């Protein structure tokens, strides 16, 4: 592994890149070598909830499943927040039971994510993917034990430079999500922002991967 892509919806099958590919329970692709699996808040359907949770419960036992997710909260959709909370909690408890990290989708609900982590006493690593907020929010999440993953917004918004620079070296990852870019492009900019060589950045992310994913490969 030269590069690690913490969150992507597109498997590119490159020998140099370990991709944590997002999978949905009812659209599972057995050909994906490493994946996360979860119920995205946008895709919550009460009539299939138990079936999907059972699929997650089965898949989480497989060695190829590196994490739960993406799952979480989104206050800008019509799905009731109380239902989102129930679905998120059940996935967090599965992650805790099986000692798997969690990739989190969060829109306008960071305080709620922090609160649910405390309420359920979640100790497995929780990673906010696609982080795009300010230093204050980043610090609040870091102080509460979260990891932050940066991707397309880092490329699109120069104001994130100072936020990314402020993140402790052992608490970040990089990703592409749905962006039409390679993870190499994200690494290149991240190395520039950290004032590191590309090799230094690769080594740091390998170290972070080993800590969070417990060398499961």
Answer yes or no: are the C-beta atoms of 6 and 19 closer than 8 Å.
Answer: no
Cis peptide before 70 (omega within 30 of 0): yes
The CA–CA distances, whole Å, from 75 to 19, 50, 112, 159, 212 equal 28, 23, 11, 24, 28
CA 214 to chain centre: 16
Element (H, E) at 84: helix 81-98
- Supply the DSSP symbol for 42: G
Tokens of 196: 């590191």
Q: Is 173 exposed, middle or buried (0-12, 13-18, 19+ CB in 10 A)?
A: buried
Contacts of 198 (CB under 8 A, 6+ apart): 187, 188, 191
Does 177 belong to an annotated binding site?
Answer: yes
The annotation status of 105 as a binding-site residue, yes or no, is yes
From the annotation, which residues make up the binding site for a divalent metal cation? 70, 105, 129, 177
Residues annotated in a binding site: 70, 105, 129, 177
């Amino acid at each position: 592994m030269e590069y690690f892509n913490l969150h992507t919806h597109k498997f590119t099958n490159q020998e140099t890149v370990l991709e944590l590919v997002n999978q949905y329970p009812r659209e599972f692709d057995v050909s994906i070598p490493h994946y996360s699996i979860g119920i995205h808040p946008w895709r919550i359907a009460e009539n299939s909830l138990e079936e999907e949770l059972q699929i997650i419960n089965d898949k989480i036992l497989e060695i190829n499943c590196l994490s739960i997710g993406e799952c979480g909260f989104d206050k800008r959709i019509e799905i009731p927040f109380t239902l989102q909370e129930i679905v998120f909690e059940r996935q967090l408890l599965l992650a805790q039971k099986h000692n798997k990290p969690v990739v989190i989708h969060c829109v306008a609900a960071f305080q709620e994510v922090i609160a649910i982590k405390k309420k359920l006493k979640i100790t497995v690593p929780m990673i906010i993917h696609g982080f795009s907020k300010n230093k204050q929010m980043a610090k609040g999440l870091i102080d509460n034990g979260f990891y932050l993953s940066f991707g397309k917004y880092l490329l699109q918004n120069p104001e994130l430079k100072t936020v990314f620079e402020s993140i402790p070296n052992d608490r970040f990852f990089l990703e592409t999500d749905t962006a039409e870019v390679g993870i190499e492009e994200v690494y290149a900019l991240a190395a520039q922002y950290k004032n590191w060589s590309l090799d230094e950045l690769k080594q740091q992310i390998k170290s972070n991967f080993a800590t969070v994913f417990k060398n499961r490969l």
